[in-house]
Chain A
Amino acid sequence: MSMKIRKIAVNIEETHREIGREISPATRKAVAVAVIENPYAGVYQEDLSELMEMGAELGGLLGDKCVEALGISPSDAESYGKSVMVGENGELEHAAAILHPKLGAPLRKAVEKGAALVASSKKMGSPGQVLDVPLGHKDAAYVRSHFDGIEVRLNDAPRANELMVAVAVTDSGRPLPRVGGLTHEDAKGEDGLR
C-alpha cells in the first residue's frame, strides 16, 4: 500500500478563561489532520481494503501527533474522536472504510486503553469547509463532562481527489462542566460505557 500524504496539520486549543471565570488548569484539545490522495476518486471500487489499511496507519500516526502536541503521556488522554471529509470525486463509503474497520486499534494504543467507542463523523466537502470532530470520553462513553467537539478546516483541502482524515485527543473535558451525569472520577472504564 502506498498512501500519498500531501499535508499534515496539528492544532491545539487551550482554554484559560470562559465567561469571566478562570480555568485552571486550562482545558486542552488537539486535532491532527492528514490530507491524502483518494485512490478511488472518480471510480466505483467494490473492495475498499486499501483504504482500511490507510485508516490503520493514520490512526497511529495522527493519534501520536495529538499526544505529542499536547505534551502528555498516553495514559493522560481523556477523550477522543475521529472524522473524515471526502473530496467531491469520492464517496461517503470511502470515509467509512478509513474510519471504522481499522483506525481505532492503533489510536487506542496511542492514548493507552480506550475502552469506549471512538465518536465519529463523516461528510463530503470542498476545500475550506469545516469538519466538526465529535469528542467522547475514551474509557466510558457516558461521562457527560467530556461530550464535546472540535472544529478543523484547511483552506486548501480536501481537493476533489483527496480525503481529509482527522483524529482529536484531549487531556480534559469541557471548561466549566455542570450538567451532571457520570464524572471522569467515577467512571470504571471497563465496559466502555460507565
Chain B
Amino acid sequence: MPDIILRKLVTSVEEIYHEGGPVADTPIKRASILAIIENPFAGRYEEDIQGFMEDLKPLGLDMSKRLVQMLGGADQIQGYGKGAIIGEAGELEHGALWHAPGGYAMRDQLANSNAIVPSTKKVAGVGARLDVPITHVNASYVRSHFDAMEVGINDAPRANEMALVLVMSTGPRVHSRSGGLEASQIKGEDGLR
C-alpha cells in the first residue's frame, strides 16, 4: 500500500469563557487537528482499499497525541469526535477508512474511553467546512457533552486529497443546563450510560 503523503497539518484550539451567561472559572477548551493527505485512490474505482487503514494508524496516533498535548494532558479530555472531507476525485467510502485508525488513536490515549467516537464525513471541494460531532468519551448519553466543532481550511481538500479530522474537548457546553444524564452519574461500563 502507498505511504501517507502529508501536505498540511492544521490545528485549532478554542478557549470558551462564556456565551452570555456566567463566566467559567476555567474556560472550556475544544481542539481540532486536520491532516491534509493525498488520496491514493483518487480518480478511479478501487475494490480493495482496506489496507490503507493500517497505513493511517501512525498518522492517527501522531494527531491524537498532538491534541492531548494541546489540551493539557489525557486526564483533561472529556469529549471527542472525528470526521473526514474527501476531495472531489474520491468517494465517500474512502473517508470511511478513517473510522478505525482515527477512533482508536484517540481511545488508546485516554484511560476511560468506552464510548463510540461520533463521526461525520462528506465529499466536498476546497474550503469546505465540516461540523464534527462531539460526545462524552465514556458514556454516549451524557447530554451536557453533546457538542460539535466546525473545522476546515481554505486551501483543502484539493480534488486528489482528503482532510482527516480529530477533535477533543475538556468539558461540557459552557452553559449546559438541558438535563439528561450528567457526567457525574455515569457507570462507564457499556459506553452508553
Q: Which of B13-21, B91-99, B184-192 contacts A (4 or more CB under 8 A)?
A: B13-21
Asked if A76 is at the interface (CB within 8 A of a chain B CB), the reply is no
Nearest CB on A from B23, distance (A): 8
Asked if A16 is at the interface (CB within 8 A of a chain B CB), the reply is yes
Q: Of all chain A residues, which has the CB nearest B5?
A: A17
Asked if A50 is at the interface (CB within 8 A of a chain B CB), the reply is no
Q: Are A13 and B8 in contact (CB under 8 A)?
A: yes
With A5-B17, A6-B19: A14-B12 Cβ-Cβ less than 8 Å: no
- Number of residues in A with C-beta < 8 Å to the partner? 20
Q: Are B12 and A7 in contact (CB under 8 A)?
A: no
Q: Of all chain B residues, which has the CB nearest A36?
A: B17
Bound: A7/B12 CA distance, A: 13
Asked if A15 is at the interface (CB within 8 A of a chain B CB), the reply is yes
Asked if B120 is at the interface (CB within 8 A of a chain A CB), the reply is no
Nearest CB on B from A87, distance (A): 14
Bound: A8/B12 CA distance, A: 10
CB neighbours of B13 from chain A (8 A): 9-11, 69
With A7-B14, A8-B14: A13-B6 Cβ-Cβ less than 8 Å: no
Asked if A160 is at the interface (CB within 8 A of a chain B CB), the reply is no
Q: Are A11 and B8 in contact (CB under 8 A)?
A: no
Bound: A8/B10 CA distance, A: 17
Bitwise, A1-37 to B at CB < 8 A (1) or not (0) is 0000111111111111110000000100000000000
- Number of residues in B with C-beta < 8 Å to the partner? 20
Asked if A190 is at the interface (CB within 8 A of a chain B CB), the reply is no
Q: Are B17 and A6 in contact (CB under 8 A)?
A: yes
Q: Which of A6, A9, A13, A17 contacts B153 (CB 8 A)?
A: A13
Bound: A151/B6 CA distance, A: 21
Asked if B100 is at the interface (CB within 8 A of a chain A CB), the reply is no
Asked if A45 is at the interface (CB within 8 A of a chain B CB), the reply is no
With A6-B17, A6-B19, A155-B150: A13-B10 Cβ-Cβ less than 8 Å: yes
Q: Are A17 and B6 in contact (CB under 8 A)?
A: yes
Asked if B154 is at the interface (CB within 8 A of a chain A CB), the reply is yes
CB neighbours of A10 from chain B (8 A): 12-13
Asked if B9 is at the interface (CB within 8 A of a chain A CB), the reply is yes
Q: Which of B6, B7, B10 contacts A12 (CB 8 A)?
A: B10
Bound: A5/B16 CA distance, A: 9
Q: Are B8 and A9 in contact (CB under 8 A)?
A: no
B interface residues with partner A (beta carbon < 8 Å): 5-19, 27, 129, 150, 153-154
A interface residues with partner B (beta carbon < 8 Å): 5-18, 26, 69, 130, 151, 154-155
Given known contacts A7-B14, A12-B9, what 11 new A-B pairs fall within 8 Å (CB)? A8-B15, A9-B12, A9-B13, A9-B15, A12-B12, A13-B9, A18-B7, A26-B9, A151-B153, A151-B154, A155-B129
| 26 A-B contacts (beta carbon < 8 Å) | A5-B17, A6-B16, A6-B18, A6-B19, A7-B14, A8-B14, A9-B13, A10-B13, A11-B12, A11-B13, A12-B12, A13-B8, A13-B9, A13-B10, A14-B8, A14-B10, A15-B7, A15-B8, A17-B5, A17-B6, A17-B7, A18-B7, A69-B13, A130-B154, A151-B154, A154-B14
